[in-house]
Homo-oligomer: A and B are copies of this chain.
Amino acid sequence: MLIQVVNPNTTASMTDLIGRSARAAAGPGTAVVAVHPEMGPASIESHYDEALAVPGLLAQIAVGEAAGAAGHVVACFGDPGLDAAREVATGPVIGIAEAGMRTATYLGRTFGVVTTLRRTTGRAWELAARYGVREQCRTVRAVEIAVLALETDPAARSRIAAECADVVATEGVDAIVLGCAGMADLAAELTVRIGVPVIDGVAAAVTTVEGLVRLGLRTGKRGEYAPPPPKRYSGALSEFGVPEAVPVH
């Protein structure tokens, strides 16, 4: 079984980190390929970045499909392009926010999210509502460290750890969800340090996709998530259109 993990931004070192987390999560017999699109932002820190990461992500989903990927992970906590990717892919597509948040609900009644920038917390709340965990999610905290600084800022780990500890102390949550794919390598260490389960969405999404594929479960395709209808596309995105004579599936 091949699972494709797509980092929707275009920073290779982050893709590497995500790939390591994803491979560590995969079970025996599961291969993981971690990639990023050719086009798009170096990191995703705004709705603007997120929106513009999607075309490259979708192109990459198509590449993965052609390469025989049985399922896909969208490895950015805003779950960009998830609905569109589900239309394009035949196998399941899972976002790390949905996997992270839903996984948390298996481990207790409540959880908190610790993420990078305050300006992204609105999107996290929106996703919590969409995924039906608005009540369980008690807080979304930001450490105000830029996504790419997670790798370079020597204080990043300790600030994230401190925020997680504070969430547990003040909100009494049963679990914590890390709100950025760039924090993937912190989950195991923090779980021990904080004393509650700390969830990396990348790992959670990989095991979720793996389970779905093993059970033969794919996105329902009889309605909203059927392949997109063939369509003429104009301009710089013209290659995204699907000629009527050559249906996607």
Taking beta carbons and an 8 Å cutoff, which residues of A are in contact with B?
A: 10, 25, 27-29, 37-43, 45-52, 54-56, 58, 81, 83-84, 86-88, 92, 94, 98, 102-103, 105-110, 118-123, 125-126, 129-136, 146, 168, 172-175, 187-188, 191, 195-197, 199-200, 203-204, 207-208, 210-212, 214-226, 228-229, 231-238, 240-241
Contacts and interface: CB of A to CB of B under 8 A. Distances in A.
Contacts of A226: 119
Contact of A51 (B58, B135, B168): B58
Given A50-B84, A81-B51, A126-B130, A108 B225 contact: yes
A229 B28 contact: no
Contact of A28 (B28, B105, B207): B28
B42 A224 contact: no
Contact of A220 (B88, B174, B212, B220): B174
A25 B232 contact: no
26 contacts: A27-B210, A37-B235, A40-B234, A42-B233, A43-B231, A45-B228, A46-B84, A47-B83, A47-B86, A49-B231, A51-B58, A55-B236, A105-B131, A107-B212, A107-B218, A108-B220, A122-B224, A132-B136, A134-B135, A173-B220, A195-B222, A196-B221, A200-B215, A204-B211, A207-B210, A208-B208
Contacts of A220: 107-108, 173-175, 196-197
A115 to B, nearest CB: 12
A174 B222 contact: yes
A133 B231 CA distance: 32
Nearest to A219: B107
B58 A224 contact: no
Given A27-B210, A217-B103, A40 B195 contact: no
A210 B26 CA distance: 11
Max chain B CB contacts within 10 Å: which of A132, A146, A214, A224? A224
Given A39-B238, A87-B48, A92 B110 contact: no
Return the 3 tightest CB-CB contacts between A and B, nearest first: A39-B235, A132-B132, A207-B211
A110 B49 CA distance: 21
Nearest to A200: B215
A212 B135 contact: no
A54 B54 contact: yes
